[in-house]
Chains A and B, each alone.
Chain A
Amino acid sequence: MDMSVFIVQESIHADHVSRHGTRDEAIAAIEEMIRQGLAERGEFNIREIDDAGKTVRVFGVPEGEAARTEVA
């Protein structure tokens, strides 16, 4: 069973912000910070870790991604 966790982190230094159970929740958290004026696009990204805590990948949130996620 996939037990990935999605960490919202600051893009350059990887300082952690929040932890989410799904990719969509993590994207939504970043989009919400941008909407509230608390972050700029590209300031944060998402680090996916597996159930052993190992980083699987790190990815940013392209513009419009949240809208696509909501539709899907």
Chain B
Amino acid sequence: MAQLPSPDAHGLPETATIAVPIPPDGLTLHRLLEHETPSERDFEPKLSRNQAKLRGVPELFRGSISHWLEHDQAVTASERSSCFVARLELSAESLLRVALTEEWGSGHVDLWAHPQELLEAVAEVVHERRRP
């Protein structure tokens, strides 16, 4: 698995953000979807500048969206008894930038990218059903 730089390994506070391009060997990430069929809306940051400010979201993260290194990490982040998790295969030849941001949970990654590019990177969608 490709390694992303962590603030801890660089002697930085946990809340530091190190955004890097996709590693040369590519990167696999997982994202919760609204429906089984992914759409650009699933990869579109939703907050306006004022909404982010009022909600206490730093401007840096207004344009990023959450992904996970592992499928199971994405599943457990959902409250829904039935959820959809997309596996994205991201290549190095892109404008994407990614940061390991584990202050939000183990394996959490923030991603900055054009939604269309992320939609095109979806390799699989898994429908997970949780037992009652």
Interface residues of A (CB under 8 A from B): 7, 9-19, 29, 33, 36, 38-39, 45, 47, 49, 52-55, 58-60
Contact = CB atoms under 8 A, between A and B. Distances in A.
Contacts of A12: 32-34, 80
Contacts of B78: 14, 58
Given A38-B51, A53-B102, A58-B79, A13 B56 contact: no
A13 B32 contact: yes
Given A14-B77, A45-B79, A53-B105, 14 more contacts: A7-B105, A13-B65, A15-B46, A17-B56, A33-B55, A36-B54, A39-B55, A53-B102, A53-B106, A53-B107, A54-B105, A55-B77, A58-B78, A59-B79
- Secondary structure type dominating chain B contacts: mixed
Contacts of A54: 105-106
A55 B76 contact: yes
Given A19-B104, A55-B77, A58-B76, A14 B66 contact: yes
Nearest to A10: B46
Interface in B64-103: 65-66, 73-74, 76-80, 102-103
A61 to B, nearest CB: 11
Q: How large is the interface on B (under 10, 10 to 19, 20 to 34, 35 or more residues)?
A: 20 to 34
B1 to A, nearest CB: 17
Given A19-B103, A38-B54, A54-B106, A13 B42 contact: yes
Contact of B104 (A16, A29, A59): A16
Contact of B34 (A13, A17, A29, A60): A13
B57 A17 contact: yes
